[in-house]
Structure 1
């Protein structure tokens, strides 16, 4: 079903993208253990539990971990133990955590400082762990997956054994579907994920440059870690298939750049122009899964975030073009200009001339008035194949007019090796012929649905 807007939104992926906070440090939940008092044999400590700045509101929470410390007393929470795992749950006055906000709970630990918690989870998701502000565990960014209970990177017999050992209990680790009981549904989910989990190599996104381009750049955020910096790279949430970043090469060349959360800012700005509201990042990803625009029928791990970011980028690249002006060549011309014209002043003028010629009336002025020209151009530079998400997660098989699948249409923003032509595939300069057989109105309907 189409989203209704006060103005017609053509050529846009009609999903909602969250307003982003610049200066985002780490795109996931985090816990920070901070000692407040110490004595021989014990200590008091606060736990600062911070919600993912780019995620949704946390309503009711359970924090858990394995290992030390042994808990003597606690406050601002309830506490229980199940096997070798500690569980802390909210109380009525701190059950809600807004994105980027935090709550503080505390405990008295038996033993010496610092503690050594393992497999720290919030509502079943692994989190970034800090001890007095220093990161000691980045948590799960795709090296593990749903069903990988022992966190060894594989869903295998050991995980099945753990599920069976927790049968008919509420063990959080084995309760994969969140039903509060470990049963056949959890076993089925684990078996469906059998094998090696997708990999996420933070230090090197598969191109030898830590996610950078052929000039040794790092995607514009000044950090090799894809989860750090002003904008988060899509590879923070995983990478797939060796991260082939564009035709012929496994590197970002020809001015192509990494996919980052700056694309969500660009798309959110487009939505604001059309007087449409912004929603959470996961809603974008869920829309894609609901519309069968993904490889899998169900999201695992951080799939909703990565898929949501990828489709938001596509919407920001395409959504400004009018129905009447549409031609696939426009996307080749404007992306090539943004990537290859070296003089920034000349490049910006050429890009904005195209926006005025082919875009919605007033959109170029809107970009300039809101200081969003640079963000728009940076999004045009992003390579859709970056991190392997285009094939590893967003390669859907939804039929388009009976002559193509949605993956063919996604290739609208993939250019030839010399960046002169659109609709190219990822291994050699040859058009996605099936996509070219889809009518203009069919392509527009796809991006609006």
Structure 2
């Protein structure tokens, strides 16, 4: 499909029929006078009074327990930048579609206007004030495409002030998925995360959050070199915000090429074609590269592999090892909602990453293989889904259309929430819960 054909097809997809991609569907009948009296006046007074008497009954008599707000101000839309809330709305509608399709979670796009400073960037205080007031309606908040550094303050403050999960997917979704891929990639090359040297190109929300998360998983902060558009973030630079200062390294390296010499893992959240074959050749043997710039990665997989990389991933669906956030947020929120978690904490995030890593190493049942073959015929023809252990250089992370992903992630997240004391409901049989999620999604 040519770029012009894609443009026309996408506009038609979003316009034809009913404009947009989502609608509201009632879960109860409203076909008779009796139905009307129960749905609205006078019958609706009864659940209202019950909730007034016992506020926790809001979870029993409303849709709040399965409702997530997808909140954005449109200041950092993937691949498009600061396009504003109206232009960002199709992306948030798309996120709502994915919540529903993959996890049967109802999601509402909430694009915020008039939350900007004089430079047109996010005013964190205004976003915080607005989102905090949404709490009585929703079971969780998914923050999306909010520019750095304001996004850090927005999420951290809301997590403290709200008693429902608040999750900035641009930070933590990418961190969780990429960590799962790193866990399995390091198995392939026989290395331990605590021994690996990391180069992170891109110091925005994703780069900072991913680096912090890898450290939580065992990587050493002293083994990180982070780069931004001006080069290496080193101690002594005077133009660094607090988040960048956190990763200022004691190093003589000043360029990306300098930083990659002797590195084990490269993570790209930056710009197209900024990594060369020569840079890859300068890395340690068994180099792992996840080049996640979209739509054009920092280096294309064939170039990286030819230069000696052992495992390569991107953000694109047409290459192996796609770092796709849809592997994370649907199952994470499914598990968090089902135990009525007050937060999505570090343990729950690590549980999600480990769930994805373990799933990628398991053999694929025949019925799942059939679905994956239909969704990914070229990969199936190449033998990607064969073998007792699936793990291979081209398959260190599951595919988004693997029906086992959301149930497994939800189960592990719910388990971690209960173990860490943020769950308000208890699931007695986690294996049965995993099966029930699979049946719910299939239905």
Give the TM-score taking structure 2 as reference length: 0.27
Structure that is richer in strand per residue? 1
Higher relative contact order (CA 8 A, sep 6+): 1
